[in-house]
Amino acid sequence: MTATTRPYGVLGRVLGHSYTPTIYRELAGLDYRKFEREPEELESFVRSGEWEGFNVTIPYKRDLVAYMDELSPVAERMGNINTVVRLPDGRLRGDNTDYYGFKVLVESLGLELADKKAVVFGGSGGAGSTAMMVLTDLGMRAVSIDRSGKHTYENLDEHADAALAVNCTPVGMFPACPKAPCSLTALPRLEGLVDIVYNPARTALMMEADRLGIPNVGGLLMLVAQAAQAVERYTGRTVGRERIAEVTSSLARSERNIALIGMPGSGKTRVGQQIAARLDCPHVDIDWELEQRLSCSCSDYIVDAGEEAFRRAESDCLAQIAARSGQVISCGGGVVTQPENYDLLRQNSIIVMLDRPIAELSKAGRPLSQRDGVEALAERRMPLYRSWADIIVTSRESADATAREAVRALDAAKIA
């Protein structure tokens, strides 16, 4: 295997689904693979000729330092590496691009942060130590907030003067989402929030920041930025911040969900199927999924167990499905009646309302429409649909035509 044919990749012990191969293909067209190795295999892998360069993930970021012939200044300072480069003379150089990735993430907020306080949730951990270092270098007074010690979540209000909050914990990461290590209400002077979690796209902290009007950014940009610097180390080609932003936005759009809401009978299932076919992605119908779990139809369950029990089952089902990404979700008409469902959808989804004239809505097989009447149901729910929706699509003459309009509206909106 020659230098021109050797692949790049990521080294770890167990490597699951990752955006990283896609990122490296988008940034530089690299052949990028997963290298899963046990601890006893590390030295033989590092000394082998099967790779041209590779990234390192947990648990090997510190272990690999011993095999390097030299370290970059940043890697020396941090005491761990995430990038290994084979130099022209065959020697191995360890680098760390996490520093640059996090710096790009913070600077993307466009805030003046020098001489202000930052609180870092989980600042004593591996990712947190990187954040603390970058923030200090940016002139901030960084304070680590941890479960125990001097500065904890219980006395977070002692840092009410903090201008920036950073989450470096795994709390709220897929699949245990949306969750947060704490609330932001103890930090009334916040100017920005950074969350290094990138799956889900919007963490619980980010959604709280949205409600409070606080600018925020998630970890996907950091993932792309650190890959961009690794590309420069591997190939000598510089990837500018504009290109980093483009790749981040493209990846976010490809991984988002499209969640359809609207009145019962508005065509969410059929339109969802058509949108999924057009975008070549999975389609999930919440009512159908519920029926598989309940072993009966949704209408029968509502009649037998009551609407309250049905709504609990619906929310439980939605929590599992909406945590995943890259799918079209057709929601039940009553999903908006439970406020907690909004965050379940919002974390990964663009929410699209299908607006169909009330006169065209059928009551057949819909016990709530039959009990309350379509008009009364619409009076209660339409304001909720509109307040939840990112995009409103008026129904067309067919499901296919409505799907075409929805895809057009999504493309035009450029919502990541």
* 195 plus 136 within the same structural domain: yes
In whole angstroms, give the CA distance from residue 150 to residue 388: 41
1 domain residue, yes or no = no
- Give yes or no: 61 in active site: yes
CATH number at residue 161: 3.40.50.720
233 domain residue, yes or no = yes
Nearest to 130 by CA among 166, 159, 83, 179: 166
* 80 plus 169 within the same structural domain: no
* 133 plus 265 within the same structural domain: no
* 205 plus 109 within the same structural domain: yes
* 122 plus 205 within the same structural domain: yes
Nearest to 360 by CA among 287, 263, 254: 263
* 26 plus 80 within the same structural domain: yes
Q: Which of the residues 34, 61, 268, 414 is marked catalytic? A: 61
72 neighbors 201 (Cβ within 8 angstroms): no
User: String of b and e for 184-217 (b: at least 16 CB within 10 Å)?
Assistant: bebbeebbbbbbbbbbbbbbbbbbbbeeeebebb
Query: Where do we find the tokens 């916040």?
Result: 190
The range of the structural domain enclosing residue 400 comes to 257-413
CATH number at residue 366: 3.40.50.300
One pLDDT digit (tens) per residue for the chain, 416 residues:
555 579 999 999 988 778 888 999 999 999 999 999 999 999 999 999 899 999 998 889 999 999 999 999 999 999 999 999 999 999 999 999 999 999 999 999 999 999 999 999 999 988 999 999 999 999 999 999 999 999 999 999 999 999 999 999 999 999 999 999 999 999 999 999 999 999 999 999 999 999 999 999 999 999 999 999 999 999 999 999 999 999 999 999 999 999 999 998 899 999 999 999 999 999 999 999 999 999 999 889 988 999 899 999 999 999 999 999 999 999 999 999 999 999 999 999 999 999 998 877 765 555 555 566 678 888 899 999 999 999 999 999 899 999 999 999 998 887 65
Give the SS3 label for residue 136.
helix
3 domain residue, yes or no = no
Instruction: Copy the structure tokens of residue 332.
Output: 């039940």
CATH number at residue 242: 3.40.50.10860
In whole angstroms, give the CA distance from residue 226 to residue 313: 41
Count of domains observed in the chain: 3
What is the model's pLDDT at position 17? Answer: 73
In whole angstroms, give the CA distance from residue 196 to residue 123: 12
* 17 plus 147 within the same structural domain: no
What is the model's pLDDT at position 358? Answer: 81
Give every strand in the sheet of 141-145, ordered side by side.
141-145, 117-121, 164-167, 192-195, 216-217
Domain end (from 168, 195, 218): 218
* 286 plus 177 within the same structural domain: no
* 74 plus 104 within the same structural domain: no
* 276 plus 245 within the same structural domain: no
115 domain residue, yes or no = yes
Does residue 322 come out as left (phi exceeding 0), alpha (psi in the -120 to 50 range) or beta?
A: alpha
Q: Please give the torsion angle defined by the CA atoms of residues 106, 110, 112 and 113, in that order, rounded to the nearest 10 degrees.
A: -10
In whole angstroms, give the CA distance from residue 30 to residue 95: 19
Give the SS3 label for residue 246.
helix
**Residue 329 bridge partners (DSSP):** 259, 284
102 neighbors 223 (Cβ within 8 angstroms): no
* 51 plus 161 within the same structural domain: no
36 domain residue, yes or no = yes
10 neighbors 56 (Cβ within 8 angstroms): yes
156 domain residue, yes or no = yes
2 domain residue, yes or no = no
Q: pTM for the full model?
A: 0.90
The helix or strand, by DSSP H or E, that contains position 258, with its residue range, turns out to be strand 257-261
83 neighbors 98 (Cβ within 8 angstroms): no
* 270 plus 387 within the same structural domain: yes
208 domain residue, yes or no = yes
Does residue 140 come out as left (phi exceeding 0), alpha (psi in the -120 to 50 range) or beta?
A: beta
